[in-house]
Amino acid sequence: MKKIGVVVFPGSNCDHDLYYVIKHELKKDVEFVWHKESNLADYAAVFLPGGFSYGDYLRGGAIARFSPVMNEVIRFANSGKPVMGICNGFQVLCEAGLLPGALLKNDTLEFVCQHVNVRVTSPDSIFTRACKDGQVLNVPIAHGEGNYFANTEQLHELEEHDQIVFQYATVEGQVSPDANPNGSRLNVAGICNKNRNVLGMMPHPERAASPLLESMDGRVIFESLLAC
């Protein structure tokens, strides 16, 4: 397998966590990709990490979306190669138009930092193919703007094409308003594009993929994507 790329924007702060998990837990070749880079030919998959790219000025991900590397990320995604955005990376993917919708301020107005349960609503993706349908993952979230919004028409379309990959749920896997930490419509925690090669998610699987940490449930996502 070719190398995995972890994009580094000014203000990214989960890039090292991703690098660590891919290199030391999954034992795969991984490299940082500086945001000024314009060639992704060496990579099999690209991650957009969490953080506060460009200070999140204007809107989360709005300025990172115009980083030089993003033209190449868009080309990479449109050629069918896997792109995964976590937290701020999810916001960047929405701003870039690679995923529908937008991330609003949490309805509680608070920055929320805690472990949550997310249900694998669609195991039919390269990111979740090692998961069982309906499997519940205990993974952390840490965001102030993770309230997923799409208009009703877009939500229908997401459901129709099985693009809702993760939903906030109870520990039993029930998608209920009580299990929704930020006001996301339909409890959306992660979605993919129609081609199923671009995934954005607010929870941090890279913070739950090492035996040193509270949960190992995030690891299955990396195993799904990097299995070969």
Partner 1 sequence: MENYQARVLVRLKNGILDPGGKAIAHALDSLDFSEIDDVKTGKIIEFSIKSKNESEASARIERACEQLLANTVIEEYSFDISRIEAD
Cβ nearer to partner 1, comparing 117 with 184: 184
The minimum distance between CB 181 and partner 1, in angstroms, equals: 14
204 labelled catalytic: yes
Cβ nearer to partner 1, comparing 1 with 58: 58
Q: Compute the distance between CA of residue 125 and CA of residue 196 in angstroms, rounded to an integer.
A: 6
206 labelled catalytic: yes
The minimum distance between CB 159 and partner 1, in angstroms, equals: 18
Say if residues 56 and 88 touch (Cβ distance below 8 Å). Answer: yes
The minimum distance between CB 64 and partner 1, in angstroms, equals: 12
The minimum distance between CB 107 and partner 1, in angstroms, equals: 5
Q: Compute the distance between CA of residue 224 and CA of residue 28 in angstroms, rounded to an integer.
A: 13
Single out the residue of 74, 113, 125, 122 nearest to residue 95, CA to CA: 74
Catalytic annotation, pick one of 25, 95, 145, 206: 206
Q: What share of the chain is helix, strand, coil (3-state, %, to 5)?
A: 30, 25, 45
Catalytic annotation, pick one of 14, 87, 131, 192: 87
The residues that touch partner 1, with contacts defined as CB under 8 A, are 58-59, 62-63, 66, 94-95, 100-102, 104-109, 147, 149-151, 183
10 Å Cβ neighbour count for 37? Answer: 17
Cβ nearer to partner 1, comparing 29 with 110: 110
Cβ nearer to partner 1, comparing 49 with 100: 100
87 labelled catalytic: yes
Structure-token match 């099985």, residue found: 162
Say if residues 187 and 169 touch (Cβ distance below 8 Å). Answer: yes
Q: Compute the distance between CA of residue 156 and CA of residue 159 in angstroms, rounded to an integer.
A: 5
Q: Compute the distance between CA of residue 110 and CA of residue 84 in angstroms, rounded to an integer.
A: 26
Q: Compute the distance between CA of residue 47 and CA of residue 90 in angstroms, rounded to an integer.
A: 10
- Residue 177 contacts by C-beta under 8 Å, 6 or more apart in sequence? 187
The minimum distance between CB 172 and partner 1, in angstroms, equals: 28
Cβ nearer to partner 1, comparing 128 with 163: 163
Q: Which residues are catalytic?
A: 87, 204, 206
